[in-house]
Structure 1
Amino acid sequence: MTGRQITPISGAFPIFTPAIPVSHRIRNLVETPSKDRSLSLKIIAKFFLLLIVALALTLTGCVPATLAPSRAPLSAGQEDRLWERVRDNGQQYQSLRGLAKVQVSRQGKNAGVNQVLVVEKPDRFRAETLNPFGFGSPLLLMATDGRELAVMVPGEGQMFRGEATSLNLQRFTQVPLYLEDLVQFILYQVPLIPHDDRRAYRIADGRMQLELRDGDRRQEIYFNDGEQLLETSYYEGEELTLRVRYDNFTPEEKPFPHSASLEMPGRQARASLVFSELETNVSPDAALFLLDTPPGYEEIPIPE
C-alpha cells in the first residue's frame, strides 16, 4: 500500500440503495384518365420503365450487405477455460483494506464521499465515511461480523444495533443485496446464479461472454482477450436488474481492479468505487468488525 498508513474505523458504504423495424409503404399514384390514347400509352410506358429501373437498383446497389452475427459460439475448450477463470477468480481474494472514493447517483441525486473499507469473506464488513474537511469525527461508521450490525453516527451521539439481515443492511447502504453478495462484489468475485444451461460466445466488440441460464433468469459474464473478468450482468427475462463492471487493474500477475461500478436501472441507481490506496488478502483483526458504544451515546435498536 502506498501513501499514509490507513487506520480503518468503519462507515456506511453508500452505494445503493431491439432495433425498431422500419416499414416502407409504397403509395399508388393515381393518374387522371386521359382521352388521348397516345398519352395513356406514354404514361404506361413510363411507369414500366420506372418499375424496371427500381427493380434493377433493388437487385444491385440497394440490397443491404449481410451483417455479421452479433456473437459466435466458442469451442467447448474455450468455454471450460472461462468457467475455470470465474471459479479461480473467486478464490484469489479473501479480504482487503483500502481508501476509496465513492460516487453515488440515485433518482437524479448525486453524492460523493471518501471511505476507509475493510472487507473479509464471507460476511465481514467495516467502513468509515470520512469527514469531507479531512479532520474531526467521521460522518458515519458501520461494522458487521455477519451476525450483528452496528452503525455509529458521531454527530448525533447515536449507536444503532440490530441483526445483520439483508433488510437492515439495505437501510444504511441502500444496496438491495445480501451481505455475502456485497462482500463478494467488492472482492472481485461475481456471485453465480443457479443454472441448467451454460454457453460461451465471442461477441461483436471482441470480448468473450459466458452465459448462464435458469429459466427466465440469465447471467452474462464478460472477459477480454486475456480472459480477464470485466463485467457481469443479471437479467429477469429481458429486464436488466443489476450490472457490475471492473476496471483500472493492478499490473501484478493476478490483477485486482481499483475501480468498480454498479448499476440498477429499476431503481434509477448507479455507484462507482475507486481505490486510491489498497491492500488485498490482509489479515484484519476480528475486533474490527465490532463496534462498542462510546460513553454518552444513545443506543437505539434497529427496528424490525
Structure 2
Amino acid sequence: MQEAIFVLLLSAVGVFGGGFWFFRNLSRARLLEDTPTSKIRSAAQGFVELYGTVQGEPEAMQKAPLTGTPCAWWRFKIEERTGSGNKREWRTVESEVSGASFLFADGTGTCMIDPRGADVKPQTKQVWKGNQRHPLRVDTLSFIGSFFAGEYRYTEERLHAGEPLYALGHFSSHGAAREGFNEAQEVGSVVREWKQDYPALLRRFDYDRNGELDEQEWTRMRQEASWEAQKRFKSRLRQGDQHRLADPGQLPFVLSSMGEDELAKHYRWHALAGFVAVLGGTGGVIWICLKNGWLLG
C-alpha cells in the first residue's frame, strides 16, 4: 500500500508540475510571437520587444570570474564530484550571476539593460573540468585534458560586445525634455552642491569679506545658481533621452542571443516536455488506481 501511495504521489507531481511547465512555456512562446518588435527611438513606455546588439569596448567591460574574459554579462557554476563508486555525482558548490547593467543598441538609439531577474540565454557557454576550486584561466592543454580528469566542473556563460541580442522587458525613458525644468528643484540642487564646500562659497560671494553672506550677497548667489541650473538643464536637453530596459515584474523578462523564432521554438519544445509529463503522470495515476481497485469501488 505504501508503495502504491508513493507512486500515486509521484504521478500527481508529474501532472501538476508538468502542467505548470506546459502553460508557463506555451504562454511565453505566444507572448514572444504576439509582441511586435519596437525601435528604441520610437518605443512606447512599458512592455516591449527589442532586437539589436550588445555594445561596449572590451577594456571597459567587466571580466567573467572563472576565465577573466571581458564581457557584458556572465553566469557561472562550480560543481564538485562527490560520493564514491557508482554513487558519484556532481554537486553545485558555488554559483553566481552578473547584475551589472550594459549598453544595447539597435541602430536608432541606445538603451541600458539591467539584467537582474532576467531569463538569460547566451550564445557562449563554456564547460570544463579541473582540480582546483577556483580556476585562474583556461588554456588549450587544460581545456582538452579536462574531459578526462578533474574533481571540479566549471560552467561559465557570457554575453559579449557585438553579439546580437533579443530583449523582452519593461522599457522606460528619462530625460530633461520629458521631466521639464523645475526651477526651485534645480536651483536648490546647485545651492546644496555649492554649500558642501562652504569656504569656496564664501570666497566667491562674500564680497565684503566679513566671513558670512548678507542678504545682498545671498541674492547674488541665488541668481548665479539659477543661471547654472539653466545651463545644466540645457546640457541635459542636448544629451536627449536616456532609455532603460528592466524586469517588468509579472511579465517575462528575457534576454537571448537567439532570434525570436528560435526562442519561441525553444519555449514550445519545453511546453511539449511539460505536456508529456502531464500525460505520463495521468497514466500513472490511472494505472495505480486500476491496479488497486480504487476506481471500481
Shorter-chain-normalised TM-score: which range? under 0.3
Greater relative contact order (Cα < 8 A, sep 6+): 2
Scaled by the length of structure 2, the TM-score of the pair is 0.19
Structure with the largest fraction of strand: 1
Structure with the largest fraction of helix: 2
